[in-house]
């Protein structure tokens, strides 16, 4: 436990906090630009996220798939890969869960089969970009994005033609009752699915820091040349990081659709699922690509998503602001924090003449 | 009958190649200088909206200028982070894409109709009439631009400098070139071309702005750059191939006798499948060599 703590250190936390603060400040500026009231908006945002049990449960519900897709990106990045294919793999996982329901398997078995197949198909969807990378050197950014788009249209087809609810054409059939995750807090959207996410984060932690494969992944990501000299097979690292990433992303889709009341189904156009993969990328970044950090960042971000609804209702600021904030935070996470601090200092020096600084400060 | 089909496909492919070619040509310049901007998708998206709003104020030319300026601004931000701030370029690019998705959706709601903004006819580009049908003047820009970029990169001193800061920034620095400044402007100019491509999407080709107007074309442009091996002339070929399939997907799905057999969703996958397939074929023949300092921030020792 002690060692576990030592690896998600203060500097990493600082970096995350600095970027979040800058993101929120720029968000304030943008809201003013568009004529909204930033203080009211942020108040509603945080009230809707963390003010009581109900809102916290909603935040947890939103955090669940994000933690899983963040793990997809994190394990890729730990291995030196920029795997942004979680988005498509989530669709595949969600489709798989609904598909298993159509098979009418015995209760109990259907739940297990849904979870297992979603993980398997998620991994298979990640396999092709991995093979392209290993055999032909096709950059994973391009191949995974192309696979996301292919998954999008595959999902549109499956939702409209194969899995459609005969009674309601705008959605797929609902997951069978026996395949649903029980609710953690009755009356909210939070289900036991959150434990799948936390457990997956724990397993990935163990994998990365307690196994030989994890060591190889980290070395390959940290210093590819050293990894090569040490005889670490890059192909193996690519393959495993993609497969494991595909598993967690596939699970994200399945857990989301199997644990999300009230309909437990996918709507046409996938409004609730679109973006889970890319948001996970932001969560991974804010969590500094560390499983523990990812759980925290996932809850923070799940909170923003839950609070965003409240903000839209009570402060009339469009929900999309949350996505803008996310992008801004990610942009600033790309910058080393010491550079940000140095620039911040300079800006202060330029704005406030030296004399006032000395006079006021000392 | 067949002739009009061929013309429809040919001109449609040319239309579809414009945004891909513009963005890819810009990215070739950026990558030649050693920066890897994967935020093209976001730039296309944002400048599609700003370009449309600009065109509504002062006509299509203003729209393109605003698109250019939008790309320039985002490219400058990206370039600053990638050079002086020594930030991670891939993450910055992803951040730009995420921000763009949020911003455009947010802005569209702000403009009134969520998810959709129609560009009035008077703000749209007027097609050049030909005996077979109208075509956009931007097609000629897209056809010409790669040649200009080729001249710039391989026949001018500035081009040599750009390639030098991409290949061996240390040597370029010793030779008295301001590495970071040149990279910054290469990134800003490269992104500007994507900005023009974005404006083209809304005020010329499609005639409206939606949240999904870029539809992965920024990434198809990135694939085109890989295809080209940083040779702008090959961008032209790649842009045409990808444009052709981008358009074919739309065209096939409107054919009544095909619609019954193949669901439209599978036809819509075509551009993305072809992009991957083409990359695969290209890498079978040769592996393009990219600048050795690509994607790495330059630091004096």
**Before A262, cis peptide (omega within 30)?**
yes
The span from the CA of B38 to the CA of B188, in Å, is 13
Q: How far does chain B reach from its first CA to its final CA, in angstroms? A: 67
Tell me the two tokens of residue B177.
């070139």
The span from the CA of A74 to the CA of A72, in Å, is 6
Selecting from A143, A157, A333 the residue whose C-beta is nearest the C-beta of B91 gives: A333
Chain A from 184 to 213: CB within 8 A of any B CB: none
* B156 Cβ neighbours under 8 A, 6+ residues apart: none
Are residues A330 and B94, on separate chains, in Cβ contact within 8 Å?
Answer: yes
The span from the CA of A17 to the CA of B145, in Å, is 44
Comparing alpha-carbon positions, the chain B residue that sits nearest to A342 is: B85
The pLDDT assigned to A139 comes to 87
**What is the three-class DSSP state of B44?**
helix
Comparing alpha-carbon positions, the chain A residue that sits nearest to B286 is: A136
The span from the CA of B38 to the CA of A84, in Å, is 12
pLDDT confidence band for A10 (50 / 70 / 90): low
| B71 assigned to some structural domain | yes
Tell me how crowded residue A42 is: count the other CB atoms within 10 A of its CB. 18
| B300 assigned to some structural domain | no
The span from the CA of A157 to the CA of A151, in Å, is 10
**What is the three-class DSSP state of B135?**
strand
The pLDDT assigned to A335 comes to 86
Q: How far does chain A reach from its first CA to its final CA, in angstroms? A: 43
Treating both helix axes as pointing N-terminal to C-terminal, what angle do A10-33 and A321-333 enclose, rounded to 10 degrees?
140
The pLDDT assigned to A355 comes to 53
A180: left (phi over 0), alpha (psi -120 to 50) or beta: beta
* A230 Cβ neighbours under 8 A, 6+ residues apart: A219
Are residues A321 and B106, on separate chains, in Cβ contact within 8 Å?
Answer: yes
Chain B within 8 Å of A285 (Cβ-Cβ)?
A: yes
The pLDDT assigned to B258 comes to 72
Q: Based on C-alpha coordinates, what's the Rg of chain B?
A: 19
Tell me the two tokens of residue B176.
């008295």
The pLDDT assigned to B259 comes to 67
In CATH, what number is assigned to the domain containing residue B115? 1.10.3470
Alpha-carbon torsion (B52, B53, B55, B56), positive or negative: positive
| B77 assigned to some structural domain | yes
Are residues A331 and B99, on separate chains, in Cβ contact within 8 Å?
Answer: yes
**pLDDT tens track, chain B, 301 positions:** 567 788 888 888 999 999 999 999 999 999 999 999 999 999 999 999 999 999 999 999 999 999 999 999 999 999 999 998 989 999 999 999 999 999 999 999 988 887 888 888 888 888 888 777 778 899 999 999 999 999 999 999 999 999 999 999 999 999 999 999 999 999 999 999 999 999 999 999 988 999 889 988 999 999 899 888 899 999 999 999 989 988 888 888 777 777 677 888 888 898 899 989 888 888 777 666 778 788 888 887 6
| B296 assigned to some structural domain | no
Q: Based on C-alpha coordinates, what's the Rg of chain A?
A: 22
Number of residues assigned to chain A:
362
Residue range(s) defining the domain that contains residue B147: 2-125+139-285
Count contacts between A and B (CB, < 8 Å): 148
Are residues A142 and B275, on separate chains, in Cβ contact within 8 Å?
Answer: yes
The beta-carbon contacts of A267-273 under 8 Å, at least 24 apart in sequence, are A267/A159, A267/A170, A267/A171, A267/A172, A268/A156, A268/A159, A268/A160, A268/A169, A268/A170, A268/A171, A269/A156, A270/A91, A270/A94, A270/A155, A270/A159, A273/A90, A273/A91, A273/A94
List of chain B residues whose C-beta atoms are within 8 Å of the C-beta of residue A157: 263, 265-266
pLDDT for A191-206, tens place per residue?
999 999 999 999 999 9
**What is the three-class DSSP state of A243?**
helix
Are residues A281 and B98, on separate chains, in Cβ contact within 8 Å?
Answer: yes
The span from the CA of A187 to the CA of B185, in Å, is 55
A129, B279 contact by CB (below 8 A): no
The pLDDT assigned to B113 comes to 80
User: With 50 as the cut, is the pLDDT of residue A3 above it?
Assistant: no
CA distance B217 to chain A (A): 10
ipTM of the complex: 0.90
Selecting from A141, A153, A326 the residue whose C-beta is nearest the C-beta of B38 gives: A141
Selecting from A145, A325, A336 the residue whose C-beta is nearest the C-beta of B87 gives: A336
pLDDT confidence band for A218 (50 / 70 / 90): very high
Q: What is the mean pLDDT of residues A237-251?
A: 96
CA distance A183 to chain B (A): 31
Comparing alpha-carbon positions, the chain A residue that sits nearest to B282 is: A136
Structural domains in chain B (count): 1
Residue A326 buriedness (CB in 10 A; 0-12 / 13-18 / 19+): buried
* A207 Cβ neighbours under 8 A, 6+ residues apart: A75, A213, A214, A244
The pLDDT assigned to B286 comes to 66
Are residues A330 and B98, on separate chains, in Cβ contact within 8 Å?
Answer: yes
Could you identify the residue written with the tokens 């869960």? A97
| B27 assigned to some structural domain | yes
Tell me the two tokens of residue A135.
């055999």
Residue A122 has, within 13 A of its CA and on its CB side, a CA count of 35
The span from the CA of A70 to the CA of A350, in Å, is 39
CA distances from B269 to A72, A259, B92, B116, B266 (A): 24, 30, 28, 23, 5
Q: What secondary structure letter does DSSP report for A162?
A: I
Residue A144 buriedness (CB in 10 A; 0-12 / 13-18 / 19+): buried
Are residues B105 and A318, on separate chains, in Cβ contact within 8 Å?
Answer: yes
Are residues A335 and B81, on separate chains, in Cβ contact within 8 Å?
Answer: yes
Specify the fold of A2-361. Answer: ABC transporter involved in vitamin B12 uptake, BtuC (1.10.3470)
Chain B within 8 Å of A146 (Cβ-Cβ)?
A: yes
pLDDT for A271-303, tens place per residue?
888 889 999 999 999 999 999 999 999 999 999
pTM of the entire predicted model: 0.90
Counting residues of chain A whose pLDDT is more than 70, the rounded percentage is: 94
pLDDT confidence band for A1 (50 / 70 / 90): very low
B88, B24 contact by CB (below 8 A): no
A253, A97 contact by CB (below 8 A): yes
b/e A68-83 (16+ beta carbons within 10 angstroms → b): bbbbbbbbbbbbbbbb
Q: Give the residue from A155, A189, A220, A195 showing the smallest Cα distance to A68.
A: A195
Q: Give the residue from B272, B226, B275, B222 showing the smallest Cα distance to B42.
A: B222
Treating both helix axes as pointing N-terminal to C-terminal, what angle do A86-102 and A234-258 enclose, rounded to 10 degrees?
50
A134, A257 contact by CB (below 8 A): no
Chain A within 8 Å of B105 (Cβ-Cβ)?
A: yes
Segments in A158-223 forming alpha helices (H): 193-210, 212-222
């Amino acid at each position: 436990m002690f060692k576990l703590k030592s690896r998600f250190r203060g500097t990493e936390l600082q970096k995350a906090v600095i970027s979040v603060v800058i993101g929120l400040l720029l968000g304030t500026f943008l809201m003013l630009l568009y004529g909204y009231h930033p203080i009211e908006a942020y108040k509603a945002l945080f009230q809707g996220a963390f003010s009581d049990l109900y809102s916290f449960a909603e935040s947890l519900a939103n955090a669940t798939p994000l933690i899983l897709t963040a793990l997809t990106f994190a394990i890729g990045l730990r291995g030196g890969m920029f795997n942004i294919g979680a988005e498509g793999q989530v669709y595949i996982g969600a489709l798989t869960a609904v598909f298993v329901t159509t098979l009418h398997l015995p209760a109990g078995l259907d739940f297990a089969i849904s979870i297992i197949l979603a993980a398997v198909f998620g991994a298979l969807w990640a396999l092709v970009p991995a093979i392209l990378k290993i055999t032909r050197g096709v950059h994973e950014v391009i191949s995974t994005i192309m696979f996301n788009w292919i998954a999008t249209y595959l999902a549109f087809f499956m939702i409209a033609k194969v899995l459609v609810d005969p009674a309601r054409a705008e959605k797929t059939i609902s997951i069978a009752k026996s395949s649903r995750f029980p609710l953690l807090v009755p009356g909210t959207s939070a289900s036991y699915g959150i434990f799948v996410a936390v457990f997956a984060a724990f397993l990935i932690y163990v994998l990365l820091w307690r196994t030989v494969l994890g060591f190889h992944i980290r070395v390959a990501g940290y210093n590819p040349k050293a990894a090569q000299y040490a005889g670490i097979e890059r192909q193996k690292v690519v393959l495993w990081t993609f497969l494991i990433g595909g598993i967690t992303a596939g699970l994200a889709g399945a857990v989301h659709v199997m644990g999300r009341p009230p309909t437990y189904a996918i709507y046409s156009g996938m409004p609730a699922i679109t973006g889970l993969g890319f948001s996970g990328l932001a969560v991974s970044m804010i969590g500094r690509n560390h499983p523990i950090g990812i759980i925290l960042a996932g809850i923070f971000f799940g909170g923003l998503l839950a609070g965003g609804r409240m903000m839209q209702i009570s402060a009339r600021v469009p929900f999309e602001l949350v996505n803008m904030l996310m992008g801004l935070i990610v942009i600033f996470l790309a910058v080393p924090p010491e550079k940000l601090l140095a620039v911040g200092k300079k800006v202060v020096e330029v704005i406030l003449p030296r004399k006032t600084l000395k006079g006021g400060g000392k | 009958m067949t002739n009009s089909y061929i013309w429809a496909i040919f001109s449609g492919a040319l239309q579809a190649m414009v945004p891909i070619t513009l963005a890819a040509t810009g990215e070739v310049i950026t990558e030649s200088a050693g920066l890897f901007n994967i935020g093209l998708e976001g730039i296309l998206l944002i400048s599609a909206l700003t370009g449309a709003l600009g065109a509504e104020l002062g006509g299509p030319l203003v729209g393109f200028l605003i698109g250019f300026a939008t790309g320039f601004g985002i490219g400058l931000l990206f370039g600053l982070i990638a050079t002086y701030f020594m930030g991670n370029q891939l993450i910055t690019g992803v951040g730009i894409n995420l921000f763009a998705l949020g911003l455009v959706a947010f802005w569209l709601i702000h403009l009134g109709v969520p998810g959709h903004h129609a560009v009035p006819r008077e703000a749209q580009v007027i097609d050049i009439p030909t005996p077979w049908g109208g075509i956009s003047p931007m097609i000629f820009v897209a056809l010409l631009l790669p040649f200009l970029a080729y001249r710039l990169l391989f026949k001018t001193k500035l081009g040599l400098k750009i390639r030098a800061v991409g290949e061996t920034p240390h040597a370029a620095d010793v030779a008295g070139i301001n590495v970071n400044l040149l990279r910054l402007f290469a990134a800003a100019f490269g992104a500007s071309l994507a900005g023009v491509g974005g404006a083209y999407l809304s005020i010329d080709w499609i005639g409206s702005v939606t949240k999904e107007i870029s539809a992965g074309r920024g990434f198809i442009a990135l694939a085109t750059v890989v295809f080209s091996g940083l040779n702008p002339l090959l961008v032209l070929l790649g842009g045409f191939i990808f444009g052709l399939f981008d358009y074919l997907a739309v065209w096939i799905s409107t054919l009544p006798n095909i619609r019954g057999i193949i669901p439209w969703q599978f036809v819509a996958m075509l551009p993305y499948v072809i992009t991957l397939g083409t990359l695969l074929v290209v890498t079978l023949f040769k592996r393009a060599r990219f600048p050795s300092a690509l994607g790495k921030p330059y630091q004096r020792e």
